[in-house]
């Protein structure tokens, strides 16, 4: 397979993630999925290892690394349980708006706690009538002296209830459409803020997804991120940075599924030989490996572009997310097929990964939306 010339620090990071995966996730992942349990122990282990500080600058208590190393962590964590990786990733999704748009005071207040893993974050954009059409949000935020008063509902919010810090996109001026949306920091325990029911999901069951309710929720005006009217920009820029992490999650999930099926194929004997030695099977694994490597290369290069400070990342980030998650879906379906009846049974893990993979094609913008983004970006670079 390809070499990506990881530094010694990066190799240590991968080894550390693998150790946490083996000790805190692998023995329990199937039970968490079966019983739909969020277990804080792997998150606590990641926090103790300072791995919530990967992208947080050193001045705010983080490691000050970047997108590439976060992708490494996401990839290797997802090999063990994509649900746990989703909890981890969603906290960064909620931290990015503060990192990218927060004032110095906001960064000093929130980022050190995030970097230490003491407080998890969540990002609240989606609403019952506003999914792919993010501009259709209806949650309102009205100015009342030194406060904003929020009213509305957010839906399908990862880390709902377990997060301490929520980035909420709400309308401050509905007449202006997307230019009338603003971003706010809401804290767990704010009056008028309540968490709804935990959703029952097809996959990623080790993570928590809930509704959020805002009923005359009063928050101080210093919790406004950036300026009024910047909310849509905050959301889009945050997703540009975060989507490559979903791509990394997909690569790790696909790698884990391939390895699981490969172990089975090497030891499962039919017609007098391991099934791996039948050409139809071995060629399927060859195709898995090639597609995973292509996805990994795209994800890694996109992350390195982000770390290099390249501003035009919308297209590459959308490509990394869409391509890698489609690969993950294909690989997991093939892994189930290569394991036959064993793949279909809940005791062996392959069908879990297939269910987990489906959501990666949906959240943080469906892959159909990613293709809209890619097509739009193409027009910026290719003109007659």
The pLDDT value given to residue 284: 98
Comparing C-alpha atoms, which of 366, 356, 365, 364 is closest to residue 331? 356
Identify the burial level of 206 via C-beta atoms within 10 angstroms of its C-beta, where 0-12 means exposed, 13-18 middle and 19 or more buried. Answer: buried
CB atoms under 10 Å from CB of 44, counted, come to 12
Confidence of residue 160 (pLDDT cuts 50, 70, 90): very high
Tell me the average pLDDT across 262-287: 97
* Burial group, residue 316, by CB count within 10 angstroms (0-12, 13-18, 19+): buried
Please state, rounded to an integer, the average pLDDT across all residues of the chain. Answer: 96
C-alpha distances out from residue 370 to 67, 78, 238, 316, 361, Å:
19, 22, 14, 10, 10
How far apart, in whole angstroms, are the C-alpha atoms of residue 141 and residue 134?
16
Place of tokens 């990623």: 204
Q: Helix (H) and strand (E) counts for the chain?
A: 12, 10
Q: Please give the C-alpha separations between residue 166 and each of 98, 160, 304, in angstroms, as whole numbers.
A: 10, 9, 28
pLDDT at 132: 84
pLDDT of residue 10: 97
Backbone angles phi, psi at 39, to 5 degrees: -110, 120
Once rounded to an integer, what is the mean pLDDT over residues 165-175? 96
Q: How confident is the model at residue 131 (pLDDT cuts 50, 70, 90)?
A: confident
> What is the value of pTM for the model shown?
0.96
d(CA 211, CA 310): 35
Looking at residues 270-295, what average pLDDT do you find?
97
Per-residue model confidence as pLDDT tens digits over 22-50: 999 999 999 999 999 999 999 999 999 99
- Please determine, for residue 357, whether its predicted confidence score (pLDDT) is greater than 70: yes
Burial annotation 227-243 (CB, 10 A radius, 16+ → b, else e):
ebbbbbbbbebbbbbbb
Lowest mean pLDDT among 25-29, 42-46, 129-133, 364-368: 129-133
- Report whether pLDDT(256) > 70: yes
pLDDT in the model for residue 384: 65
Q: What pLDDT sits at residue 251?
A: 98
113 catalytic, yes or no? Answer: no
Q: What would the pLDDT profile of 195-243 be if each residue is shown by its tens digit? A: 999 999 999 999 999 999 999 999 999 999 999 999 999 999 999 999 9
The pLDDT score that the predictor gives to residue 380 is 85
Residue from 9, 364, 368, 377 carrying the catalytic annotation:
364
For the chain, how far is it from start to end, CA to CA, in angstroms? Answer: 40
What structural domains and CATH numbers belong to the chain?
8-120 (1.10.540.10), 122-229 (2.40.110.10), 232-381 (1.20.140.10)
Q: What percent of the chain has pLDDT over 70?
A: 99
Residue 134: predicted pLDDT: 80
pLDDT band at residue 277 under the 50/70/90 scheme? very high
Instruction: Determine the pLDDT at residue 382.
Output: 77
68: Cβ contacts below 8 Å, ≥ 6 apart? 300, 303, 304, 306, 307
Can you tell me the distance from the alpha carbon of 133 to that of 131, in angstroms, rounded to the nearest whole number? 5
- Report residue 270 as tokens: 């039919």
* In the predicted structure, residue 135 carries a pLDDT above the cut 90: no
Q: Specify whether the CB–CB gap between 261 and 339 falls below 8 A.
A: yes
Sort strands 140-144 and 181-187 into parallel, antiparallel or unpaired.
unpaired
Instruction: Give the pLDDT band of residue 177 (cuts 50, 70, 90).
Output: confident
């Amino acid at each position: 397979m390809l070499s990506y010339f990881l530094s010694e620090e990066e190799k240590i990071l991968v080894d550390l993630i693998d150790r946490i995966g083996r000790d805190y996730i692998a023995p329990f992942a199937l039970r968490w999925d079966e019983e739909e349990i969020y277990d804080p122990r792997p998150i606590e282990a990641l926090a103790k290892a300072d791995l919530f500080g990967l992208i947080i600058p050193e001045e705010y208590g983080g490691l000050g690394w970047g997108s590439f190393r976060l992708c490494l962590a996401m990839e290797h964590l997802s090999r063990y349980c994509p649900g746990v990786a989703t909890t981890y990733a969603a906290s960064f999704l909620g931290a990015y708006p503060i990192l990218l748009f927060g004032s110095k005071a906001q960064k000093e207040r929130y980022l050190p706690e995030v970097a230490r893993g003491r407080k998890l974050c969540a990002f609240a954009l989606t609403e019952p009538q506003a999914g792919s059409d993010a501009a259709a949000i209806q949650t309102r935020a009205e100015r009342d002296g030194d406060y904003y008063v929020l009213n509305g509902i957010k839906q399908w919010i990862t880390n709902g209830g377990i997060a301490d810090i929520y980035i909420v996109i709400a309308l401050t001026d509905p007449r202006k459409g997307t230019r009338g949306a603003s971003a706010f920091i809401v804290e767990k325990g704010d009056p008028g803020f309540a968490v709804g029911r935990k959703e029952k999901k097809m996959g990623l069951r080790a993570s928590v997804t809930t509704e959020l309710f805002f009923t005359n929720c009063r928050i101080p005006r210093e919790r406004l991120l950036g300026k009024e009217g910047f909310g849509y920009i905050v959301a889009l820029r945050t997703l540009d940075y975060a989507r490559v992490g979903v791509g990394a999650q997909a690569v790790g999930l696909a790698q884990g599924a391939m390895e699981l099926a490969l172990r089975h194929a090497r030891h499962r004997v039919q017609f007098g030989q391991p099934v791996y030695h039948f050409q139809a099977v071995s060629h399927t694994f060859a195709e898995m490996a090639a597609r995973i490597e292509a996805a990994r290369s795209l994800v890694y290069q996109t992350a390195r572009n982000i770390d290099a400070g390249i501003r035009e990342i919308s297209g590459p980030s959308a490509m990394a997310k869409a391509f890698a998650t489609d690969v993950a879906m294909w690989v997991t379906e093939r892994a189930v097929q290569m394991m036959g009846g064993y793949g279909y049974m809940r005791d062996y893990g392959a069908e879990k990964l297939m269910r987990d993979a489906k959501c990666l094609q949906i959240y943080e913008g469906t892959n159909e939306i990613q293709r809209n983004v890619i097509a739009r970006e193409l027009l910026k670079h290719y003109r007659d």
